[in-house]
Chain A
Amino acid sequence: MRNEGLKEKMGFGVLFLATLVVVVPVLSIVVLILVKGWGALSWKFLFTMPLDGMRAGGIFPAIVGTFYLVLVSIAFSLPIGVMAAIYLSEYARDNALTRTINLAIINLAGVSSVVYGLFGLSLFVVFLKFGVSIVAGALTLGIMTLPVIITSTREALRAVPQSYREVSRSLGASRWQTVRHTVLPRALPGILTGAILSVGRVAGETAPILFTVAAFYLPKLPTSLSDQAMALPYHLYVITTQIPGIPEGYRYGTALVLIGLVLVMNIAASVLRSKYRKKR
């Protein structure tokens, strides 16, 4: 019996060590980027154009480009994603069509990000003649984030108790009225959580924008959606691998802005989620 107790202690010890091996690097990465990047941050770094082949000046156009990409892609994917989730949760029966839709969503979630880049290039840039532009990249990113939005919205809708729908329908409301006035308001925080998470995802993706939007060096702001643009993740890739002699602080500074953006989105999403849970 004492033997079994010892075994248990050792087993749990191994599991704990494995967990440490996972968690410690994550924390060190965040702290390291924060410490090394903090010194590079300044108004000038954030809000001016790059100079001297990106070895000096700021990263403003990359920030603006990422902002545009996020905005346009969410404007495209949020309505489609939410309506798709409403269909799956409120309208769909368990039939072949529904199973096919679910299969398609799983596959969209699994397609490699660089394959999305190829797809965006051939459909939006070449076939629809959008050219290398914000709109081509944002649509590509939008399709890529659809599974995230659909899945999180569907969870939020399913968490609304069935009795709400029954009461609404029994009072004579139509199916759409029930969805619109009873189910959706209840599910809103969950839907927003998914939307915020996908914003973080869009802001950080590089491969889908390589051939659809990204400009290597473009020291002016985009004036329309058919312009090329710089973007934060691609900028970090460029200054890390393509240009020698960039001060270390610039790289860590860019990484910090990018990771800061993504983590703020994640924190916002989890705060929203926990508030919502408490309310229920």
Chain B
Amino acid sequence: MKSSFRKAGEFAIEKLILLSGIASIVFVALIFIFLLQEGVAVLKHTSLGAFLGGKFWYPISNPARLGILPLILGSLLVTAGAIVIAVPLGIAAAFYIAEVAPRKLRAVLKSCVEVLAAIPSVVLGFLGIALLVPFLKRFLGLPTGLTAFAGSLMLAFMALPTIITISEDAINAVPREYKEGAIALGATHWQTLVRVIIHGALPGIIAASMLGIGRVIGETMAVMMVTGNAAVIPETLFAPVRTLTATIAAEMGEAAKGTPHYFALFAIGIVLFVISFAINLTADLFLHRGKKR
């Protein structure tokens, strides 16, 4: 009797475990369905081409003009700036931490990177407004420091922990024999690093950079606070821009439910969801290729 109770209990809990396992799939599906349900309605007001390629974002004029090209270009510009800064810096730091730093220093550096990863983006945005923006204005002699460049700097900083940790894992995963073989053949540590280890770690480093890009495109608060939020097609890094994420965050509070504006913001959400899906999928492919070898 007792054991049949036990069996029933076990059966129930194992079903619950299976359900929880599937929960992630359900949540991803729910996110997509609910974005679609609200976002697709934008196509009643504008065509897909005019939405993605339209040069004007005047969501509350009458009739509303819902072209998100300035926002897409804003996101791309800020992201490109951030990646140019963060990828070389992150990879170099990962090599230093994984290969060069003495053991004790390595532990300190790793915890610094962890701290950076933990700092909330709104805190970085606050410091950006309080310190970075006035500094850029004075240092570069700009009319305002709230620029795409300020956003790139903040985002580069925020992408660094992702790039460093994943590259470092990839470097550590390179088989010891490769390194020992190169050194036994008379190569210096530096030669081993740039000619041998880097090849073994390359898929992981590419994945790290892609995940860094994903982090940057999706980042919201810090970038909204320092980029000046002007929804115009950007001409230089040193002018205000507005990103896809900042547009949603800044305008959803004012968009009345059921208006074209409201639907358009959800449609921007779909664009972001598709971008992050594609980036994560590709990065995962690189990571697995690295592991199999």
Q: Tell me the bound Cα distance from A27 to B190 in angstroms.
A: 29
Do residues B129 and A241 form an inter-chain contact, with CB atoms below 8 A?
yes
Tell me whether A22 and B34 are in contact in the complex, defined as CB-CB below 8 angstroms, given that A118-B265, A146-B27 are known contacts: no
Q: Does A233 contact B (CB under 8 A)?
A: yes
Q: Which of A158-166, A221-229, A258-266 participates in binding chain B?
A: A258-266
Q: Which of B8-16, B76-84, B175-183, B232-240 participates in binding chain A?
A: B8-16
Total count of chain B residues near the partner, CB < 8 A: 84
Q: What are the interface flags for A194-229 relative to B under an 8 Å C-beta threshold, 1 for contact and 0 otherwise?
A: 000000100111110011000000000000000000
Least Cβ–Cβ distance between A9 and chain B, in angstroms = 8
B60: chain A residues at CB < 8 Å are: none
Residue among A27, A112, A258 making CB contact with B218, cutoff 8 Å: A112
A175: chain B residues at CB < 8 Å are: 14
Least Cβ–Cβ distance between A180 and chain B, in angstroms = 9
Q: Tell me the bound Cα distance from A14 to B38 in angstroms.
A: 50
Do residues B280 and A110 form an inter-chain contact, with CB atoms below 8 A?
yes
B113: chain A residues at CB < 8 Å are: 22-23, 26
Do residues A30 and B281 form an inter-chain contact, with CB atoms below 8 A?
no
Do residues A7 and B252 form an inter-chain contact, with CB atoms below 8 A?
no
Q: Tell me the bound Cα distance from A88 to B13 in angstroms.
A: 15
Tell me whether A237 and B190 are in contact in the complex, defined as CB-CB below 8 angstroms, given that A101-B22, A110-B214 are known contacts: no
A108: chain B residues at CB < 8 Å are: 24, 27-28
Q: Does A156 contact B (CB under 8 A)?
A: no
Do residues B20 and A26 form an inter-chain contact, with CB atoms below 8 A?
no
Q: Tell me the bound Cα distance from A87 to B21 in angstroms.
A: 6
Q: Tell me the bound Cα distance from A110 to B248 in angstroms.
A: 17
Do residues B13 and A176 form an inter-chain contact, with CB atoms below 8 A?
yes
Q: Does A121 contact B (CB under 8 A)?
A: yes
B109: chain A residues at CB < 8 Å are: 19, 23
A206: chain B residues at CB < 8 Å are: 120-122, 220-221
Do residues A258 and B123 form an inter-chain contact, with CB atoms below 8 A?
yes
Least Cβ–Cβ distance between A102 and chain B, in angstroms = 8
Do residues A115 and B123 form an inter-chain contact, with CB atoms below 8 A?
no
Name A81's closest neighbour in chain B (CB-CB).
B20
Q: What are the interface flags for A1-42 relative to B under an 8 Å C-beta threshold, 1 for contact and 0 otherwise?
A: 000110110011011101101110111011011000000000
Do residues B122 and A233 form an inter-chain contact, with CB atoms below 8 A?
yes
Do residues B97 and A113 form an inter-chain contact, with CB atoms below 8 A?
no
B10: chain A residues at CB < 8 Å are: 174, 176-177
Q: What are the interface flags for B64-96 relative to A under an 8 Å C-beta threshold, 1 for contact and 0 otherwise?
A: 000000000000000000000000111011011
Q: Tell me the bound Cα distance from A104 to B157 in angstroms.
A: 27
Q: Which of A43-51, A67-75, A122-130 participates in binding chain B?
A: A122-130
**Interfacial residues of chain A within 83-97, with CB under 8 A of chain B in the complex:** 83-84, 86-88, 91-92, 97
Which secondary structure dominates where chain B touches chain A?
helix
Do residues A266 and B114 form an inter-chain contact, with CB atoms below 8 A?
yes
Do residues A119 and B123 form an inter-chain contact, with CB atoms below 8 A?
no
Residue among A19, A84, A174 making CB contact with B97, cutoff 8 Å: A19
A272: chain B residues at CB < 8 Å are: none
Total count of chain A residues near the partner, CB < 8 A: 88
Q: Does A64 contact B (CB under 8 A)?
A: no
Do residues B190 and A8 form an inter-chain contact, with CB atoms below 8 A?
yes
A233: chain B residues at CB < 8 Å are: 120, 122-123, 221
A176: chain B residues at CB < 8 Å are: 10, 13-14
B48: chain A residues at CB < 8 Å are: none
Q: Does A63 contact B (CB under 8 A)?
A: no
Name A210's closest neighbour in chain B (CB-CB).
B249
Do residues A118 and B225 form an inter-chain contact, with CB atoms below 8 A?
no
Tell me whether A107 and B277 are in contact in the complex, defined as CB-CB below 8 angstroms, given that A25-B157, A119-B31 are known contacts: yes
Q: Tell me the bound Cα distance from A160 to B13 in angstroms.
A: 21
Least Cβ–Cβ distance between B231 and chain A, in angstroms = 16
Tell me whether A5 and B188 are in contact in the complex, defined as CB-CB below 8 angstroms, given that A104-B28, A204-B120 are known contacts: yes
Q: Tell me the bound Cα distance from A123 to B191 in angstroms.
A: 55
Least Cβ–Cβ distance between B103 and chain A, in angstroms = 14
Do residues A200 and B17 form an inter-chain contact, with CB atoms below 8 A?
no
Least Cβ–Cβ distance between B266 and chain A, in angstroms = 6
A117: chain B residues at CB < 8 Å are: 248-249, 252
Do residues A118 and B120 form an inter-chain contact, with CB atoms below 8 A?
no
B31: chain A residues at CB < 8 Å are: 111, 115-116, 119
Do residues B190 and A12 form an inter-chain contact, with CB atoms below 8 A?
yes
Q: Does B217 contact A (CB under 8 A)?
A: yes
Tell me whether A115 and B96 are in contact in the complex, defined as CB-CB below 8 angstroms, given that A123-B34, A206-B120, A233-B122 are known contacts: no
Given A11-B193, A12-B96, A176-B13, 7 other A-B residues pairs in contact with their CB atoms under 8 A: A8-B189, A12-B100, A18-B92, A84-B24, A110-B211, A115-B248, A176-B14
17 residue pairs from A and B, CB less than 8 Å apart: A4-B188, A7-B188, A15-B100, A25-B157, A26-B115, A84-B20, A91-B18, A107-B276, A108-B24, A111-B273, A122-B34, A122-B35, A204-B119, A206-B122, A206-B220, A207-B249, A258-B122
A-B pairs with the 5 shortest C-beta distances?
A204-B120, A112-B218, A87-B21, A18-B92, A83-B20
Chain B residues with a Cβ under 8 A of chain A: 10, 13-14, 16-25, 27-28, 30-31, 34-35, 37-38, 88-90, 92-93, 95-97, 100-101, 109, 111-116, 118-127, 129-130, 157, 160, 164, 188-191, 193-194, 211, 214, 217-221, 225, 245, 248-249, 252-253, 257, 265-266, 269, 272-273, 276-277, 279-281, 284
